[in-house]
Chains A and B, each alone.
Chain A
Amino acid sequence: MMNETKNIMIVGVGGQGSLLASRIIGNAVLLKGYDVKVSEVHGMSQRGGSVVTYVRYGEKVWSPVICRGEADIIISFELLEAARWLPYLKKGGVIVVNTQKINPMPVITGALEYPDQLVEKIKAKGIKIVAADTLKLAKEAGNERTSNVALIGLMGRYLGFDVETLKESVKISVPAKFLEVNLKAFELGYNYEK
C-alpha cells in the first residue's frame, strides 16, 4: 500500500457523462482494496456548464475534494476544460484529454474567443499531456457513446494499475449488453499510439 493519497480529476461539460468514468475508476480502486472518496456534481451545472468530479484513493482518504496543485491525473472530456482545470495539476502530473471542442456560451455569443493551439500551449509549459480524439476511437469501436470509456483506456497506462483490474472494473461498471463495445473502446484507448 502507498501512504500518499492519489488524486484524479475528471472534467468536462455537463451532460457529457462523467459519472460512468468516475464509477469505473472508483470500482477499480475498490478492487485494489483502497479507501476511496468520489465527489460528483449534480444540479445546475449539469446543464452544459463546466463540471468536475474528484476521485481520491489511498490508505485513508479524508477530504473528498482536490485543490490547486494536487491532481496526479486530470482526465478531460473537452479541450478547453483541460486548460481551465490545469492549475489543479500537481508538478509532474499528467493530463489526458479528448481533443473534442465544445464552444461555451461566451464564445457562441462572440464575447470571447476559444483559445487555439491549447495542446501545444499546455505542452510548452513542460506538462505531460496525452491527447486523442476519443470520439473517433469510439466510432471505431462501434458506438459513439463509448468515447468516455476510450478516454479511460487512454488514461489507463498512467494510473499504475494492471490492465486486468481496469478491464474488470469496466465489466462491473457498464451494462452487460454494452460490455463488448465498451471493452473494445477501452482497448483502443489503452493501446493508442500518439
Chain B
Amino acid sequence: MKKIMLGNEAVARGLYEAGCRLVSSYPGTPSTEITEYAAKYDEIYAEWAPNEKVALETAIGASVAGGRSACCMKHVGLNVAADPLFIGSYVGVGGGMLIIVADDPGMHSSQNEQDSRHYAEASKLPMLEPSNSKECIEFVKAGFELSEKFDTPVIIRLCTRISHSQGIVELSERAEHELVDYVKDPTKRVMTPANAKPRHIIVEQRLNNLSEFADNCDLNTIEMNGNKPDIGIITSGTSYNYAREVFGDSASYLKLGMVFPLPENKIKDFVSNCSRIIVIEELDDYIESFCKKIGIIVDGKNLLPKTDEFSQDLLREKLLGIKSESVSVDDKIPGRPPVLCPGCPHRGVFYVFKKLKLYVSGDIGCYTLGAAPPLSSIDTTFCMGASVSSIHGFNKIRPELTGKSVAVIGDSTFMHSGITGLVNLVYNKGQSTLVILDNRITAMTGHQENPSTGRTLKDESTYAVMPEDVALAVGVKKEHIRTVDPLDIAEFEKVLKEELASGEPSVIVCRRPCALLKGVERLPAYHVDADKCKSCRACMTIGCPCISMTDGKAKIDETLCTGCGLCIKLCRFGAINGGNK
C-alpha cells in the first residue's frame, strides 16, 4: 500500500515492520514523533525514559534479553547517552539494536549544530543515513539485519528535513522476530579490563568486516550519467536531494546510505570515472576528510559552508554561481520570534525575576523564552540540567550574590538531569535557590509525559515522582521546599524573597499546568476599558501576545486571551476588566 508519511512516522513504521519489541527514548526535536508513532503499535512496548542515557541502557538491556530494540533522540541527546554508546559497541547485541539520532542543521529547534557522524567513528559503530521517508523504512530494516549479522548496535542518522518531511512510502506487514536465546557470557557482557581488552580486538575486527561490507552493499549506490562525466558528486541524506535537484542528470552520484565506515574502494572506483569530484555534505567536512585521507582531491568545504542547512538555492549559488531572483516590499518586516503562549504559567515567574533584578541561571524548555524581550530575565542557558549545577559554581565564586541569584528549570528537565545537580548543591553546602516550573508536562517538544506527570507514553496511569519529594529525599530541608501557584505572583514573590534570604539550599515548585494542555479550562477573556487606560504600558511588560497598543491604548485580543488574570495585577488604574473578576 502507498501512503504519504512523515520521515519520523516512517522510521516508526520500519521499527514495526522489522519486529522491534521495545523503544525507549527521551523527546527532542526533531526526533520526538518516532517514539510517539511507535507507541501506537500494540506490538511495540514504547516508553519515555527520564533521559537519553537511561533510554539507551534500557534498549541495551532489551537487546541482551534477545529482543529487537531501539532508542531515539536528538543530536545533543547522544552526548548524554555517550557512555552507554561506547560500551554498547564493545558488548554488541543479542536482538538487533538501533540508536536513532536526529541532527538539526540550521538549528530549527536546538541550542547547537552538531554532526553525529563523528560519534559513529569514535564509537566504531556503523551508521546509516536515509534520504527520504521510503528509505527511513528500508534503512531501519537493513539496520536490524546489519546489527545482528555483525553483532553491533547500529546508528541511524536523520536530520530535520528527513524527520519532518513527508514523502511517499510503501507499507508491508510486520515480520515477527524470534527472541534470540540468552546465554550467560561474562566475557562478552561484563566489561572489566580483562574482558574488555579482547572485546576491543573484536571491535576492530568487526570494523574491518564492516568496511568490506560497505564496499559491497547496496546501501551505497553509484549513478553514472555519461561515459566520463564532468562532475561526480559524493553525498548522503538530505544533501543528496538538493544535489539531485540542482545537477539532475548532468552529474554522476555516489550516494552513501552507509556513512560509517565509508566504502574506500567504492569511492576510489567512482572517483576514477569522473573528472572532478564535489563532496556535498551539511555541517562538518566528514566525508571530505576521509577522501583526502585516502589521497583523493575533492571540492567541498572550500565552496560550501560548515554552518546552517543546505538547500537547492545554496548549491546553485555556491557551485554554479546562479543567484535566485526575488521581489520584496520596501517596508521593514518585523521579526516574529516564538513567544510564551497567552496564559502560560511560566510568564509571571520571569516577570518577578526581572522585577527583583536577579541573576537567572536558566535551562532548556518553553521557559527559555523568558530570555526574550520584554521579560529578558535569563542570564544563561547551556544544556539540560545546567541551571542548577552551574548556579552552584557561580555562587561558590560569588557567595555575596547567593541571595540575588536563582536557578530555574522545568519539570521534565529536572527529571532529565536536574536531580544530580541538586544533590551536588546540597552535598557540597551550596545555598542557592532552585525554582522548578512544574507545568505537568514536557511542553517544548509538543506535550510528552514524563516521570512527574503520572502517565506513561502508552497512556496508562502510573506513580508520579513529585519534585518536592525528590528535593526532600536529597536533603533539602522541608521548610525550604515550597509550592506555589505561579499565577499568584504576589505570593511567589514573597516566597522567593524568603528563600533567597534563608541562607539554605531551597526549592520552590511553581505548579500550574501548561495552558495548552488538554483539559485545562479557559477562563472568560479580559478587556481594557479605553477611558480608564492611562497608556502607561505597565500591562505590556509581561509580554503577553494578546495585549497590544491600539490607538494609544492597551487592547486585549479576546479571541486569544485565556483569562489567566496576570495582566490585571499590573494595571494600577483598574482599566482591565472582565474575566472572572
A and B associate: yes
Residues of A within 8 A of B (CB): 13-15, 26-27, 30, 35-50, 61-65, 67-70, 80-81, 83-84, 86-89, 91, 102-115, 118, 121-122, 125, 127, 144
Name B337-378 residues within 8 Å CB distance of A.
Answer: 337-341, 366, 369, 372-374
Task: Give Cα distance in the complex from A121 to B161, angstroms.
Answer: 33
**Chain B residues with CB below 8 A from A121, complex form:** 329-331
Chain A: CB-nearest residue to B330 = A121
- CB pair A62–B167 under 8 Å, yes or no, is no
B165, B327, B329: the one within 8 Å of A40 (CB)? B165
Q: State whether B333 touches A84 (Cβ < 8 A).
A: yes
User: Are A43 and B329 within 8 A (Cβ)?
Assistant: no
Residues of A near B545 (CB, < 8 A) are 48, 102-103, 105, 108
The 7 closest A-B pairs by CB, nearest first: A43-B109, A67-B313, A43-B29, A49-B338, A115-B331, A87-B326, A64-B165
List of A residues within 8 angstroms of B338 by Cβ: 14, 44-49
Looking at the assembled complex, report how far the CB atom of B472 sits from the nearest CB atom of chain A, in whole angstroms. Answer: 33
| Chain A minimum-CB-distance residue to B164 | A40
Residues of chain B within 8 A of A108, CB atoms compared: 540, 543, 545, 547-549
Known contacts A41-B164, A108-B549, A118-B331; 18 additional CB pairs below 8 A are A30-B4, A36-B167, A36-B168, A39-B165, A39-B166, A42-B29, A45-B109, A47-B341, A48-B338, A49-B337, A63-B312, A67-B311, A67-B313, A70-B313, A83-B328, A89-B327, A112-B334, A121-B331
Residues in B whose Cβ lies below 8 Å from that of A45: 108-109, 338
Most B CB within 10 A of own CB, among A64, A68, A86: A64
B517 to chain A, nearest CB (A): 14
Please name all residues of chain A whose beta carbon is closer than 8 Å to the beta carbon of B369 when the two chains form the complex. 47
Closest to B344 in A: A47
- CB within 8 A of B324: which of A36, A68, A83? A68
Please name all residues of chain B whose beta carbon is closer than 8 Å to the beta carbon of A127 when the two chains form the complex.
327
Complex CA gap A50/B335 in Å reads 8
Tell me the chain B residues, 527-541 only, with Cβ under 8 Å from chain A.
Answer: 537, 540
Is B328's CB under 8 angstroms from A38's CB?
no
The reply to whether A42 and B32 form a contact with Cβ atoms under 8 Å apart is yes
Is B109 in contact with A125, judged by CB distance below 8 angstroms?
no
The 17 sampled A-B contact pairs (Cβ below 8 Å) are: A14-B338, A27-B4, A37-B165, A44-B338, A45-B108, A47-B366, A48-B336, A81-B336, A86-B328, A88-B326, A105-B337, A105-B543, A108-B548, A112-B334, A113-B334, A118-B331, A127-B327
Q: With A and B bound together, what is the CA distance between A105 and B376 in angstroms?
A: 12
| Known contacts A62-B245, A65-B312, A108-B547, A44 near B444 by CB under 8 Å | yes
Residues of A within 8 A of B168 (CB): 30, 35-36
Whole-angstrom distance between the Cβ of B321 and the nearest chain A Cβ:
16
- Tell me how far the C-beta of A79 lies from the nearest C-beta in chain B, rounded to whole angstroms: 11
Asked whether A80 lies within 8 Å of B165 as measured between CB atoms, the reply is: no
Q: How far is the CA of A82 from the CA of B339 in the complex (A)?
A: 20
The interface size bin for chain B is 35 or more
- A residues in contact with B32, CB < 8 Å: 42
Provide the bound-state CA to CA distance between A40 and B311, in Å.
15
Known contacts A30-B4, A43-B446, A67-B312; A115 and B333 CB within 8 A of each other: yes
Q: How far is the CA of A47 from the CA of B333 in the complex (A)?
A: 19
B329 to A109, Cβ gap below 8 A? no
Closest chain B CB from A82 CB (angstroms): 9
In the complex the two chains form, what is the Cα distance from A50 to B339 in whole Å? 11
**A48 to chain B: which residues have CB within 8 Å?**
336, 338-339, 341, 545
A91 and B540 CA atoms in complex are apart in Å by: 41
B508 at interface by CB-CB < 8 Å: no
A9 to B: closest C-beta gap in Å = 13
Is the CB of B6 closer than 8 A to any CB of chain A?
yes
User: Most chain-A CB neighbours within 10 Å: which of B33, B167, B333, B366?
Assistant: B333
Q: Are B166 and A38 in contact (CB under 8 A)?
A: yes
A81 / chain B contacts, CB cutoff of 8 Å: 336
Would you call B123 an interface residue if the criterion is a C-beta within 8 Å of the partner chain's C-beta atoms?
Answer: no
A115 to chain B, nearest CB (A): 4
- Closest chain A residue to B543 by CB distance? A105
CA distance A27 to B4 in the complex (A): 8
Chain A's closest residue to B242 (CB) is A63
Question: Which residue of chain B lies nearest to A100 when distances are taken between CB atoms in the complex?
Answer: B559
B374's nearest neighbour on chain A, judged by CB, is A109
In the assembled complex, the Cα of A44 lies from the Cα of B107 at a distance in Å of 10
Which among A47, A62, A65 is the interface contact of B339 at CB below 8 angstroms?
A: A47
- Taking a contact as CB atoms under 8 Å apart, the answer to whether B311 and A63 are in contact is yes
A70 B109 Cβ-Cβ under 8 A? no
Within 8 Å of chain A (Cβ to Cβ): is B244?
A: yes
Task: Say how far B418's CB is from chain A's closest CB, in angstroms.
Answer: 20
Q: A35-B168, A38-B4, A121-B330 are in contact. Are A50 and B33 (CB under 8 A)?
A: no
Is B241 positioned at the interface, with any CB of A under 8 Å from its CB? yes
Distance in Å: Cβ of A126 to nearest Cβ of chain B: 8
Residues A62 and B244 in contact in the complex (CB < 8 Å), given A40-B166, A43-B444, A44-B444: yes
In the complex formed, the residue of B with least CB distance to A125 is: B327
The distance in angstroms between the C-alpha atoms of A62 and B30, with both chains bound, is 20
Q: Which residues of A contact B292 (CB under 8 A)?
A: none
**A37 to B167, Cβ gap below 8 A?**
yes
B165 touches A109 (CB 8 A): no
B332 within 8 A of A: yes
Residue among A37, A50, A61, A70 with max Cβ neighbours from chain B (10 Å): A37
Please tell me if the beta carbons of B241 and A110 are within 8 angstroms of each other in the complex.
no
Neighbour of A106 across the interface among B238, B335, B341, B446, CB < 8 A:
B335
Known A36-B4, A67-B311: A42·B446 in contact at CB below 8 Å: yes
Q: Quick one: which of A47, A88, A115 has the most chain B CB within 10 A?
A: A47
Q: Once the chains bind, are B543 and A109 in contact (CB under 8 Å)?
A: yes
Pairwise interchain contact A86-B327, C-beta atoms closer than 8 A? yes
- Please give the distance in Å from A41's CB to the nearest CB on chain B: 7
Given A49-B337, A68-B324, A70-B324: A62 in contact with B313 (beta carbons within 8 A): no
**B332 near A115: Cβ-Cβ < 8 Å:** yes
A103 surroundings in chain B (CB, below 8 A): 545, 548
B325 interface residue per 8 A CB criterion: yes
**Closest residue of chain A to B544, judged by CB?**
A108
Q: How far is the CB of B471 from chain A (nearest CB, A)?
A: 28
CA A81 – CA B329 in complex, angstroms?
12
Q: Is B483 engaged at the interface, CB distance under 8 Å to the other chain? A: no
B445 adjacent to chain A (CB < 8 Å): yes
Q: What's the Cα separation between A88 and B341 when bound, in Å?
A: 28
| Docked-complex contact B109 and A63, CB < 8 angstroms | no
- Cβ A68 vs Cβ B326 within 8 A: yes
**Which of chain A's residues has its CB closest to B446's CB?**
A42
B387 to chain A, nearest CB (A): 18
Instruction: Determine how close the nearest CB of chain A comes to the CB of B377; give it in whole angstroms.
Output: 14
- Shortest C-beta distance, B210 to chain A (Å), equals 29
CA distance A47 to B30 in the complex (A): 15
- Contact partner of B537 (CB less than 8 A), chosen from A14, A15, A87, A110, is A110
